[in-house]
Structure 1
Amino acid sequence: MKHWLRFPRNVWVLAGTLSLVMTSIPLMVLISGLLGAKLAANPALATLPLACTIVGTALTTLPAASLVRRRGRRFAGFTGIACSAIGALLGLAATEFSSFISLLSGAAFMGAAMAFFQQFRFAAIESLSDPADAGPAVSMIMLSGIVSAIVGPEFGAWGRHWSGLAQYSGSFLILLLAIVLAAIVFMGFRNPEQLQTQDKGTGRPLSEIVRQPVFLIALASAAIGYAVMSFLMTSTPISMHSHYGHSLHEAKWVIQSHLMAMFLPSLFAGFLLQRLGVITLMLSGCVLYFAVLIIALSGHAVMHYWWALVLLGVGWNFLFLAGTTLLPKAYSGAERFKAQAVNDFSVFSLQAAASLCAGWVLVSFGWQVQVLATLVPVVLLLLISVWALLNRQRLV
């Protein structure tokens, strides 16, 4: 808590903005598959809207980083907010006109916005006067997701049936209002200044930066953690509601719990990071992922889904926080934009691929096969974590 009290204004503005704009993701997690199943010609395409969100993020990571470098983080942040608003409007059009293409387009714009919002964690680090506060600051940024985790699915439920509007049209209208409020909050952000003197020159070649063990370990922690989480989360509402007959309310509860579990650990993850170290936190995330597999394979009751998705969220938090905190050790100030761009492009491309496959795997092979398919990447990440633990003196 003492670290949070000395955070600069930028960190609080970024956290407040994210708590509003990130509601689009839990909203889409809950209703996009249900809307997709209703609007798509083939049920196997039901998860395609959420996959488009992630693909939009992956394809926009490099342009977003380039825009940050050329125009600054403030301009890029407002660009992301504009993309999010366009996505909400297209989602509204999709519901009103029963257009699957509009739903896919809106999802892609929301995903593109996320590429800009993912840059906020680096903006928070750059706004600090003490580099030792990087872990707690990233935790603070991630903690803002608690608000979106609670409110986002509620948008889906509140706006599901509004008189005079198509199903879920009200959800996108509420989302649009949240985005407008986010734009007002973000007006308080100012571009960080202390790193501008470090931006001269180009630094080392990108090939040299990405070959470093510290870069590869940071990338593996975030990328594999994100891909496994997305692969299972994307299919959960469909598996629960459409395949095993659980109610939409129960599916919403599981998704809300999962999303809260993704961000609530940030209350203490920064403390754990400083006490245990980044590699130990990464290893803890791997252990939690193994627990997810055991529980998910044990049955199809609501509580099986609930426990699996909650532990999946906590594991993701540890892995993503570890990767984000470790990454700056791989680059200098002059190298940060290209290193961050490659990292985010790789992370969200792998996540996009996992999300694209999720619906097809679930429809074709079932939930248990989908869970078993994550065993290989989880084992790989565990081996990387053990190697990093044995060699951590050279990394951190």
Structure 2
Amino acid sequence: MSTRNLTVLFFCQLISATGSIVLVTLGGIIGSSLSSNPALATLPVSMMVVSVAATTIPASLLMRRIGRRAGFAMASVSAGASVLMAAHALQTVSFGWFIVSASVFGINMAFSQQYRYAAAESVAPRYAGRAISLVLLGAIGGAFVGPELVSRGAAWGDTPYVGTLLSLAVLYVVQALLFSLLQPLRGESAGSVAGAGRPLAAIVRQPLFIASVLCGTAAYGVMTLIMTATPLSMHINDGYALDETARVIRSHVIAMYLPSLVSGFLLERFGTIRLMAVGAVALLGACLVGLQGHSMLHYWWALVLLGVGWNFLYVGGTTMLTLTYSLDERFRAQAVNEFSVFGTSATASLLAGTVIHLYGWHTLVLLPLPLLAVTLISLYFVRGNSLLRKVAPQAA
């Protein structure tokens, strides 16, 4: 393994997770304070996710041309600029500027989602799952730093949360500098030229490719829908304090990334399909718990199950995806996956505020059930695919 690369990606994941948690936690709350229409409260967060979806293909194509190191560093600079714009929006009480800043922030998120590919390309193929899970583990730090910035930053400066956003800008400068330490990945050696590979249609027609994209889409779509709606349901509709809401979100984010301590090893030991099936069942459990009530405990358990299910399904889906293409084909295949995953995530984010406002929490947690059923069916049909033995020969 490339210890240096994984270390750099680990700390950059920590910073990116910190920024994402702050924007997701505060996005709907700030939006509701700046907008006169409650249904538009989550619009900034939704536009952020739409921006992620719109940037995924350009991000992949840009990094194919200039390399991951330069692409990641440029994205860090854009994130720093976006949080400065968000601070300006708060100071000028401008909902429009806040929407713009959230949209620009989504550019960096499109790049940061590909840290996991950089991790997989830093190691031998059979260790891809372990590398992906180790880098995602960096977000646990963000689960602590992000909520602390939210709660403490409210008192920094004359305008609430401006200090939080300025602190994020400093972190993104550090992140841009860290990427200068990233070493070339597999397929990025000096003078290497990417070949054409197979036609894109041949890649996306593979049953394993289709299943991996579907699983990644389900993992991120369900997680985004419920996580985006939770602060509104808890803080705005049910009257929980901001600290209580932030505590549930913190537990959710820890549950998203703490399993990364073991998910890569579990994948190698028990196989990709089994790990992903457990993840899909955990997401189903999150929805069922959410149907039981609105107490603090109901929210906490639903969001914890949501996090664990996301981790197993997402790590497994990303690892499965890496088995379906060669290094020459990686950017095109990854672009299709990222656009599918984050296009669905954008739709889920757009739906969250409207569904909560018009129909309530119970209706929202019912929506993912058909998609999760299809996900489990797809895993059943690809369970014997020979490509899976590249990751865990003893448990394919």
| Structure 2 residue identity aligned to 1:14 | L
Contact 1:126–1:195 (CA<8 Å) still a contact in 2? no
The two structures, once aligned, show a CA RMSD in angstroms of 1.4
CA distance in 1, matches of 2:128, 2:156: 44
Query: Which of these residues, 372, 377, 380, is aligned with residue 378 of structure 1?
Result: 372
Structure 1 position 342, deviation (Å): 0.8
Task: Quote the Cα distance in structure 1 between the aligned partners of 2:187 and 2:64.
Answer: 15
CA–CA separation in structure 2 for the residues paired with 1:276 and 1:199: 37
Cα offsets for 1:324-377 (capped at 9, x unmatched) = 101111111111110011111111011001110110011000000111111111
Partner residue of 1:171?
164
1:69 aligns with 2:34: no
- Deviations along 1:230-287, whole A, 9 cap, x unmatched? 0010010110011111111110000000011100000010111001111111100111
Q: Which amino acid aligns with 2:154?
A: R
Partner of 2:126: 132
Paired letter, 1:229: M
Aligned to 1:60: 55
* Cα displacement (A) at 1:386: 2.1
Instruction: Give unpaired runs (5+ residues) of structure 1.
Output: 1-5
CA deviation digits over 1:56-97, x for unaligned, max 9? 111111111111011111110111101111111111011111
CA displacement at 1:214 relative to structure 2: 0.9
* CA distance in 2: counterparts of 1:263 and 1:307, whole angstroms: 16
1:1-396 mapped onto 2 (5 Å cutoff)? 6-128=1-123, 130-163=124-157, 165-192=158-185, 194=187, 196=189, 199-389=193-383, 391-393=384-386, 395-396=388-389
> Which residue in the other structure is 1:3 paired with?
none
Measure the CA separation in 1 of the matches of 2:388 and 2:188.
23
TM-score after normalising by structure 2: 0.95
Residues in 1 aligned to 2:388 and 2:254: alpha-carbon distance in whole angstroms = 31
Q: Give, in whole Å, the separation in 2 of the partners of 1:200 and 1:253.
A: 46
TM-score of the two chains, using structure 1 as the length reference:
0.95
1:306, CA displacement in angstroms?
0.3
Identify the range of structure 1 (185-194 vs 337-346) with the bigger mean alpha-carbon deviation.
Answer: 185-194
- Cα contact 1:18–1:182 (8 A) shared by 2: no
Please say if residues 7 and 137 of structure 1, whose CA atoms lie closer than 8 Å, have aligned partners that are also in contact.
Answer: no
Residues 332 and 14 from structure 1, CA distance in 2 versus in 1: closer, same or farther, beyond 3 angstroms? same
Aligned counterparts of 1:119 and 1:293: Cα–Cα separation in 2: 28
Residues 272, 388 of structure 2: 8 Å contact kept: no
1:300 offset after TM fit, Å? 0.5
Give per-residue Cα distances to partners, 1:144-163, cap 9 Å, x unaligned. 11011211122111111224
Cα distance, 1:185 vs. partner? 2.1
* Distance of 1:395 and 1:74 partners within structure 2: 29
Identity of aligned residues (%): 42
> Hey, what's the Cα distance between the residues in 2 that align with 1:200 and 1:63?
17
Q: Which amino acid aligns with 2:217?
A: A
- Local SS of the residue matching 2:230: helix
Q: Secondary structure at the match of 1:314?
A: helix
Tell me: CA distance 1:132–1:173, structure 2 relative to 1, closer, same or farther (3 Å). same
Q: Secondary structure of the equivalent of 2:98?
A: helix
Any idea what SS the aligned residue of 1:162 has? Answer: coil
> What's the counterpart of residue 393 of structure 2?
none
How many Å apart are 1:16 and its aligned residue? 1.1
Contact 1:288–1:311, Cα closer than 8 Å, also in 2: yes
What do the CA deviations read for 1:19-65 (whole angstroms, capped 9, x no partner)?
11321110011111000001112100111111111111111111111
Q: Is the 8 A contact 1:279 1:392 kept in 2?
A: no
Query: Which sections of structure 2, spanning at least 5 residues, go unmatched?
Result: 390-396
- How many residue pairs match? The answer is 388
Partner letter of residue 91 of structure 2? E
Distance (Å, rounded) in 2 between the aligned partners of 1:301 and 1:265: 25
Matched residues in 1 for 2:194 and 2:387: separation? 28
